[in-house]
Structure 1
Amino acid sequence: MNSIARKAPVGILGFPVAPMDQNGRLVVSALEKNIQFLIDEGLSSIFIACGSGEFHALSNIEYQTMVETAISVAKGKVPVYTGVGGNISHALELTKLSKELGANGYLILPPYLIEPEQEGLCNYLSTIIESTDLNAIVYQRDNCVLTLPTLQKLVENPQLVGFKDGLGNMDTNIELTQTIGDRLGWLNGMPMAEVTMPAYVNMGFTSYSSAISNYIPHISATFYQALLSQNKSLLNELYLNVILPINRIRRQKKGYAVALIKAGMEIVGLPVGTQVRAPIVQVEKDHYQQMEQIIKVAFDKFPKDKK
């Protein structure tokens, strides 16, 4: 236990999808390519079977297959975090499985249905965090909204290494980051995180989950470097030509945060298919064609360096 590095991943975080065939069955070979692509492109970590991986719709067998695949492909080159959450009994089964399969940690997704009190939320998260010695990251979004006293109680657990924000309340983020400080790693988990990262980086958020890294990772890398080096003109060009146009499409329909990733991957030739599971819907033809044009601009205007 003492050998575990208590540190959250930093930089751009990779969130693979759950590739499916026309019959909705998981395609492991496509998942392997997705994960290898992210690692080859320099992403700092793999978060498997999380939101982008349609955690809500996976069977236990599919979940295990995805985690085994991620660990097999990563080969220890980057840490692998799993998605756990939902009902507490299932979450604990998944933390145990993640430990047995050799994951480095897990991202705790919100509980289902219930709007909990802080005491209940603290109990839920503490139970999951304490269930193994793996690193844990809490995800603030939807019905999992933490107050400062709750987070202060949770950080008493050494397994808790990170806080991912998908809420976007800057008052709360300032209070949390300024009070908790570098005890936690701070991750931007907002939809299309590139849009908000300039605001987050100044609060100490050193990491973010990048959906577009699944298909145009060179844009994510260029963006983050431009942000850190304060290259405002390049940032503006990236925003106007790629990031904001994609974000406008993403906001057209609920569930596009997932479906649009698969559409983008198909456009660049990655064999994951565009099938998604209910209640998520596929990307409409018009929006798909708009994505094709944006991605073309991304490669034409910001060509990828040859390695």
Structure 2
Amino acid sequence: MFKPHGIIPAMVTPFDQNGKVNETALRRLAGNMTTAGCHGLFVLGSNGEFFSLSNEEKVEISRIVVDEVNGQIPVYAGTGGNSTEETIMLTRQMEEAGVTAVSVITPYFVKLTQDELKQHFESIAEAVNLPIILYDIPGMTGNPLAPTTVKELSKVPNIVAIKDSSGSFDNVLKNLEAQGTDFTVLVGTDSLILPALMAGGGGAIAATANLLPKVVVSIYEKWNAGDHEGAELQQRKLRAIRNAFGKGTLPSVLKQAMNSAGLEVGPPRLPVKVLPESVKLEVEAIVDEYRLDGDVN
């Protein structure tokens, strides 16, 4: 079965000034990340604003990235929704679009039991052919996946990984107990990339790799090469932009940083607003520091 690994950017979705998907910018972004040595691309996650996209847009975005990558690296697509049937239908469409695997976030709004979450993922896995990555981000969904549930789901043949965005290293360690030859733990909290690798994790689905793909990839590569000091240095570089994320609604800070760096991805989609001018200046100052260090062009 397919085994995810490495640094996989959680891609933003570029929009034009009218709020439409910007295909040219999307292709450029996918090409840049592939050239930077990323080990896969993940579309339609939280930073990809999946919550504001129609299913038709989601499928089109996935097709564009699959076409642009042209088999060089895997393409992952988020297909999670609030109903099991909705998720199954979109996952089947993604298979037709040619993605390598899908990421399925837990349902949100309605508080579910662990048994209900387990049945949700088992039903999806049984109904589709693609490899599935569990996506646990309880701070946004209100539905945490308990490590005991993850361990049970890891035994399902086409459930191949978890993206742990709990923000808790203890939770990552507990999920690592389920990791084996057929299941991988990927972190979705960028401050934990190196700690997770040190603990035996398989990599990260990283938002900061939109802005700093070479830096984030180098954490993984230096760690694998035994250059632990170098990996730590690269990990520290993520702090400035990570610390700035709280200054705006997701993904407004990241998009502003990319725009400031010349990676034109446009505004977030309403109701998320662009940053106020004072915060824009703060973000631009952070990008300028990265530019001085040679981490962005």
Please give the TM-score of this superposition, normalised by the length of structure 2. 0.89
What amino acid sits opposite 1:100 in the alignment? E
**CA deviation string 1:7-28 (max 9, x = no partner):** 12x1110222211122211111
**CA deviation string 1:107-165 (max 9, x = no partner):** 00121211110110011111222221111000111234223442233123211110110
Cα contact 1:84–1:95 (8 A) shared by 2: yes
Q: Which residue of 2 aligns with 1:292?
A: 284
Q: Which residue of 1 aligns with 2:119?
A: 123
Between the aligned residues of both structures, percent identity stands at 24
The count of aligned residue pairs is 292
Q: Which residue of 1 aligns with 2:57?
A: 62
Change in Cα spacing, 1:295 to 1:227, as seen in structure 2 (3 Å) is farther
For the pair 1:216 / 2:212, whether they are aligned, the reply is yes
Which of 133, 136, 155 aligns to 1:137? It is: 133
Question: Secondary structure of the equivalent of 1:164?
Answer: strand
**CA deviation string 1:178-199 (max 9, x = no partner):** 3544431110112xx0x22232
For the pair 1:85 / 2:93, whether they are aligned, the reply is no
For the pair 1:264 / 2:257, whether they are aligned, the reply is yes
For the pair 1:101 / 2:97, whether they are aligned, the reply is yes
Change in Cα spacing, 1:294 to 1:171, as seen in structure 2 (3 Å) is closer
Distance 1:155 1:179 in 2: 7
Cα contact 2:194–2:231 (8 A) shared by 1: no
Distance 2:206 2:234 in 1: 18
What amino acid sits opposite 1:197 in the alignment? I
Distance 2:188 2:121 in 1: 18
Which of 189, 196, 203 aligns to 2:192? It is: 196
Distance 1:169 1:121 in 2: 20
Distance 2:167 2:188 in 1: 9
Mean Cα displacement is larger for which, 22-31 or 291-300? 291-300
Change in Cα spacing, 1:205 to 1:231, as seen in structure 2 (3 Å) is closer
Unpaired segments of 5 or more residues in structure 2?
Answer: none
Q: Which residue of 2 aligns with 1:151?
A: 150
The alpha-carbon deviation at position 174 of structure 1 amounts to 2.3
Cα contact 1:83–1:107 (8 A) shared by 2: yes
Cα-Cα RMSD: 2.3
Distance 1:22 1:199 in 2: 39
Mean Cα displacement is larger for which, 171-180 or 207-216? 171-180
Question: Secondary structure of the equivalent of 1:66?
Answer: helix
The alpha-carbon deviation at position 268 of structure 1 amounts to 1.9
Q: Which residue of 2 aligns with 1:252?
A: 247
Distance 2:93 2:44 in 1: 13
What amino acid sits opposite 2:248 in the alignment? K
Distance 1:297 1:147 in 2: 40
Change in Cα spacing, 1:265 to 1:171, as seen in structure 2 (3 Å) is closer
Aligned structure 1 segments of 4 or more residues deviating by more than 6 angstroms: none
Please give the TM-score of this superposition, normalised by the length of structure 1. 0.87
What amino acid sits opposite 2:79 in the alignment? V
Cα contact 1:49–1:82 (8 A) shared by 2: yes
Cα contact 1:95–1:131 (8 A) shared by 2: no
**CA deviation string 1:42-85 (max 9, x = no partner):** 11111112222110000122112101101111111111111011
Pairwise mapping of residues 173-188 of structure 1 onto structure 2 (< 5 A)? 173-188=172-187
Cα contact 2:208–2:242 (8 A) shared by 1: no
Change in Cα spacing, 1:262 to 1:154, as seen in structure 2 (3 Å) is same
The alpha-carbon deviation at position 222 of structure 1 amounts to 3.6
Cα contact 1:219–1:298 (8 A) shared by 2: no
Unpaired segments of 5 or more residues in structure 1?
Answer: none
Cα contact 2:161–2:185 (8 A) shared by 1: yes
Change in Cα spacing, 1:295 to 1:60, as seen in structure 2 (3 Å) is same
